[in-house]
Structure 1
Amino acid sequence: MADTLHLAADPVELTAELVDVPSVSGAEAELADLVERSLRAQTGLEVIRSGNSVLARTNLGLPKRVILAGHLDTVPVNDNLPSRLEDGVLHGLGTCDMKGGDAVMLNLAATVDRPRHDLTFVFYDCEEVEAARNGLGRIERELRSWLDADLAIVCEPSNASVEAGCQGTMRVELRTSGVRAHTARGWMGVNAIHGVGEALRRLESYSARTVDIDGCVYREGLQAVSISGGVAGNVVPDLCVLSVNHRFAPDRTPEQAEAHLREVFAGFELTVTDSAAGALPGLGTEAAQELVRAAGGTPVAKLGWTDVARFAALGMPAVNFGPGDPTLAHTQQENVPVNQIRQCREVLHRFLNED
């Protein structure tokens, strides 16, 4: 492995180099070291390290600032390393989620020589694990001023289209109680698994909202994702737990989403186990509109939760814009078309650099 990356090189080559440095969540140090050395070799950038996150920025005193953010970590290796290039498609762990986006960011750090806005680049760790470990949270706590900007672009895979805002997400558990008994005398007990049947019927008949916000259509969802219960093969179970995931449009707060679920599952014991707010599209600002014009096409809603929500919570508009199909993230077949990597680089270079 080279001591530094040639950041001004073809971003496709950069992507392959990044992919070939394993960086499963919690083990990003080697890749963070490489990114840090490479950014420090650039002139005109202030560079700092926070754990296995690397941050760099210009300080030109320009009227506006744009953040570009991407995580360095991947899900565990699944027999999909090293990278390989076949018929214009780069295959391998992290190609889509999201080292193609990271490569675009690194290339921009080296090639935007006449920036229209001051720029901040945030390469962070532990995005693919529990939220408490996410490097952006640590940066917000310890380096808050580094997250001040007029627009944040999270270079997660979006098929090279501007995806605005994101859904909120919530997981809840429904618990039903019963009375144990021998199955030979089942009438003497109360079956907790049978008791969850009504909740499943409500899920089956549930009609999810479709919400249009600023021309972006968010489709909500409510799905059972796990069920557990049972003691032994000859015992009537006295406890059953049904886990349900709710994806809600960003016009609802987590509190409103919880109230909705309590209405849907009225009569059941319900406990919220995880919750994250969504983010409104935020396309009305001048900086966001400039990006949309540079990208062309029509912005679409982000169906899923991404770290745009963290930036939106800090009071700035945020969008997803990066190479790759998000439906391939976390799969063994993860890949990214090389033309999308180059397209994202060209769009962002046109948006960030003076003509």
Structure 2
Amino acid sequence: MDLTVDPIALTAALVDVPSVSGDEEKLADAVEAGLRAHPHLEVRRDGQAVLARTTLGRSSRVLLAGHLDTVPIADNLPSRRDGDLLYGCGTSDMKAGDAVFLHLAATLTEPRHDLTLVFYDCEEVEAVRNGLGRIERNHRDWLEADLAILGEPTDGEVEAGCQGTLRVEVRTSGTRAHSARSWLGDNAIHHAGEILRRLEDYAPRRVDIDGCEYREGLQAVKVQGGVAGNVVPDECVVTVNFRFAPDRSTEQAERHVREVLAGFDVTLTDLSAGALPGLSQPAAQEFLRATGTTARAKYGWTDVSRFAALGIPALNYGPGNPNLAHTRDEHVDTTVITRCTQVLTAFLA
């Protein structure tokens, strides 16, 4: 894989190598080979993740990170071009960002900051499999940086920090009975009505942090219950997702959800911290000046949270529209690929 070609062509080449989560080996092999062709880079492989860095003795280091995996293919491979739009699985999330970073790794042989590149696996699945977490455990020193830029799709804008996310299962119980003699039973699904009423009446916060407005949300995302068409159910489970602003800790977020759902059986099933914007850090300010934009809040959880937990300022910046991620019609505007490449080149070169 020639990493020096135009990043648009490189995006198409990356997209045309399928890499659904857990099956990234072929793409990781190609990325590793492409990086090893450039002697100014030190390259390391960890499972299906590939790392590279310069060691020029610069006074600062910038880390560029992107995941190689995609969600399952939805009849949207191979890639195809229609004018300025490039279609295909992973074009937006986030092989266009990977292509920009790989091109910079190959072509910036004398950057003014030392560079670290991290291309990792299994971002689109459960957090325990996330390759960036494995790299943190195995190669912590490779994550040291003054600024981390995650190439998640932001449509060429800077999105700062990220929301935290929490999921709980809320259970109600009752007594099973034949529906023809329903007075002998106690319907657990009916008891879930109070849960849904509380969620319907919930007033989410809007929080301004460093000029970025984060909007919270507490939503029922799944309801499970019922035994058969003629049975009064004795159990119902409502799955609730809380997307919280990064000024809440994970402990505060869990406590808040338990307060809202007080009186019910609540089981925590998933919890990831958010990330504060970190825009007051000099490296983040320098990058904002280079983009000529103002930052906006990131709606959703991204791996900037991992860098923030390590005390490293981290931003989301990449081509691709986040609203197109994971869709059958996923595509990226190639003009934004070019613009992001130009901005990052000016910042790093």
Give 1:58-77 correspondences, 5 Å limit: 58-77=54-73
2:311 aligns with: 315
Separation in 1, partners of 2:267, 2:147: 35
Match of 1:291 among 262, 271, 287: 287
Identity %: 67
Residue 192 of structure 1 pairs with residue 193 of structure 2 = no
| SS, match of residue 319 in structure 2 | coil
Partner of 1:45 in structure 2? 41
In the alignment, does 2:15 pair up with 1:19? yes
Q: How far apart are residue 114 of structure 1 and its match?
A: 2.8
- What's the offset of the Cα at 1:8? 1.8
Q: Deviation per CA, 1:112-132, whole angstroms, max 9, x where unpaired?
A: 233111100000011111111
> Per-residue deviation at 1:285?
1.2
**Alignment partners' CA distance in 2, 1:223 and 1:179:** 27
Provide the TM-score with structure 1 as the length reference.
0.97
Q: For residues 83-105 of structure 1, what are the alpha-carbon distances to aligned partners after superposition, in whole Å with 9 as ceiling and x for unaligned? A: 01102000000100100000000
1:177 is the counterpart of 2:169: no
1:228 aligns to 2:260 (yes or no): no
Shift of 1:137: 1.0
Among 310, 329, 332, which residue is 1:333 paired with?
329
Cα shift readout 1:141-171 (whole Å, capped 9, x = no counterpart) = 1111001111110001001001000000000
Q: Which residue of the partner structure matches residue 303 of structure 1?
A: 299
Q: Deviations over 1:243-290 (max 9, x none)?
A: 000000000011101111111111111111000000000111111111
* CA apart distance, 1:6: 2.0
Instruction: Pick the aligned partner of 1:273 from 230, 253, 269.
Output: 269
1:189 Cα shift?
Answer: 1.1
Q: In 2, Cα distance between the equivalents of 1:296 and 1:90? A: 26
SS at match of 2:109: coil
SS in 1 for 2:162: coil
Q: Counterparts in 2 of 1:338-353, with a 5 A limit?
A: 338-353=334-349
Q: Report SS of the residue matched to 1:179.
A: coil
User: Structure 1, residues 176-223: CA drift from partner, whole Å, max 9, x if none?
Assistant: 010111111111111000001011011111111000000000000111
Aligned to 1:218: 214
List runs of 5+ in structure 1 lacking aligned partners. none
Amino acid at match of 2:102: L
Asked if 1:324 is matched to 2:300, the reply is no
For the 8 Å contact 2:221–2:240, the answer to whether it is kept is yes
Give, in angstroms, the shift of residue 233 of structure 1.
1.2
Structure 1 residues 257-272: aligned runs within 5 Å = 257-272=253-268
* Matched residue count: 349
Amino acid at match of 2:57: G
Give the partner amino acid of 1:38: G
3-state DSSP of counterpart to 1:333: coil
Check whether the contact 2:147–2:312 (CA below 8 A) recurs between aligned residues: yes
SS of the counterpart of 1:340?
helix
Matched, 1:154 2:154: no
Which structure 2 segments of 5+ residues have no match? Answer: none
Q: Deviations over 1:276-324 (max 9, x none)?
A: 0000001111111111011112100000000000111111110000001
1:88 pairs with 60, 68, 84, which one? 84
Amino acid at match of 1:87: G
Would the aligned equivalents of 2:40 and 2:109 in 1 still touch at CA under 8 Å? no
Q: Secondary structure at the match of 2:141?
A: helix
Take 2:39 and 2:119, find their aligned partners in 1: how far apart are those partners?
18
Q: Once the 2 structures are TM-superposed, how far is the Cα of residue 63 of structure 1 from its aligned partner?
A: 1.1
Q: What is the rounded CA distance, in whole Å, between the counterparts of 1:279 and 1:318 in structure 2?
A: 9
Q: CA RMSD in A?
A: 0.7
Q: Secondary structure at the match of 1:246?
A: strand
Q: Does structure 1 retain, via aligned residues, the 8 Å contact 2:61–2:114?
A: yes
Whole-angstrom distance in 1 between the partners of 2:138 and 2:209: 34
TM superposition score normalised by structure 2: 0.99
Following the alignment from structure 2 to structure 1, what is the Cα–Cα distance between the partners of residues 129 and 266? 26
Q: Which 4+ stretches in 1 moved above 4 angstroms? A: none
- Tell me the SS of whatever aligns to 1:266: coil
| SS of residue in 2 equivalent to 1:196 | helix
